[in-house]
A and B are shown apart, each in its own frame.
Chain A
């Protein structure tokens, strides 16, 4: 009798509560609110693909990409990417961050998201000395550099 009860309990457990696979993770919300700028949406989609990169994606022991750094990079872009500025290229970094780049034959601007609110900026023009500096939260120093790459 005991065996029957145990069998019934076992069967009922799986009949009443059949196995349900875990639901897939929802797509990461990289933007706090949808952007009206199609360029930002396009860059967001590219950044979303970075989240699928496995460890060692660069074959030199790179880390997986940190979602919080992606969000911070996109937040920065939505603040500095004015309508008249050129759309940049975004690339993942081996340390799991994000780098935003504008290039012209005689002009380069690179912004690396080092940490939340911490950006390393490199700017080079043929006619001036290259400059490299850190920005913490206050992005006003970046905006004129971005505007110097017209669309």
Chain B
């Protein structure tokens, strides 16, 4: 609590929470959204965990689940939404995640439903492959989109970019060989 007073989570902060594939549900409009069941307090009555997006990374948020059999996405919701629903956002740093917070307060369905409704995907389904390291493209604060170009797409784009160069080298080589052959033939 002391740290909360000294270093409160900013009003405009956005929070991240891991969402297992079991909690990805159709939104009725052709998309996938997190179930409200993903925003409940822990079964041991500990408050709901989250991380401050601006102070963490997707890679670090997903580190605890890299060995899980299930896939995970990361939902992002405004701290203001939690506060509007009567929740307190309290810092609770843990090993390997200094940006960890507790979202404290009673969570009837009305509250968890609102958290789910106001969420966007910071790391959307299908979740895997997860980002390996804290790369710059992973240092997103409120950019809700997954990196616009995935790794295979980047490779394909690199291949397409290389095509004109291959043609240039090939045509040049053929022309040079032709010139050499003609020179040898006539002289």
| Pairwise interchain contact A58-B109, C-beta atoms closer than 8 A | no
| Pairwise interchain contact A57-B70, C-beta atoms closer than 8 A | yes
Interface size on A, residues (CB 8 A): 31
Q: Is B171 an interface residue (CB 8 A)?
A: no
Contacts of A130 in B (CB 8 A): 110, 113
- Of A5-13, A29-37, A103-111, A140-148, the one touching chain B: A103-111
Contacts of A104 in B (CB 8 A): 28-29
Contact of A91 among B25, B68, B108 (CB under 8 A): B25
B interface secondary structure, majority: mixed
Contact of B113 among A60, A89, A94, A124 (CB under 8 A): A124
| Pairwise interchain contact B38-A105, C-beta atoms closer than 8 A | no
Q: Residues 67-87 of chain A: 1 if any B CB is under 8 Å from the residue's CB, otherwise 0?
A: 000000000000000000000
Instruction: Give 30 CB contacts A-B under 8 Å.
Output: A57-B20, A57-B22, A58-B18, A59-B18, A59-B64, A61-B42, A61-B46, A62-B42, A89-B25, A89-B35, A91-B25, A92-B22, A93-B40, A94-B37, A94-B40, A95-B43, A96-B43, A99-B36, A101-B25, A102-B28, A103-B27, A103-B28, A103-B33, A105-B28, A105-B29, A110-B36, A112-B37, A122-B109, A122-B110, A130-B110
Chain A residues with a Cβ under 8 A of chain B: 50, 53, 57-63, 89, 91-96, 99, 101-105, 107-108, 110, 112, 120, 122, 124, 130, 132
- Taking A91-B22, A101-B25 as known contacts, 9 extra A-B pairs with beta carbons closer than 8 A to each other, sorted by chain A number, are A53-B70, A99-B35, A99-B37, A101-B35, A103-B28, A105-B27, A112-B109, A124-B113, A132-B110
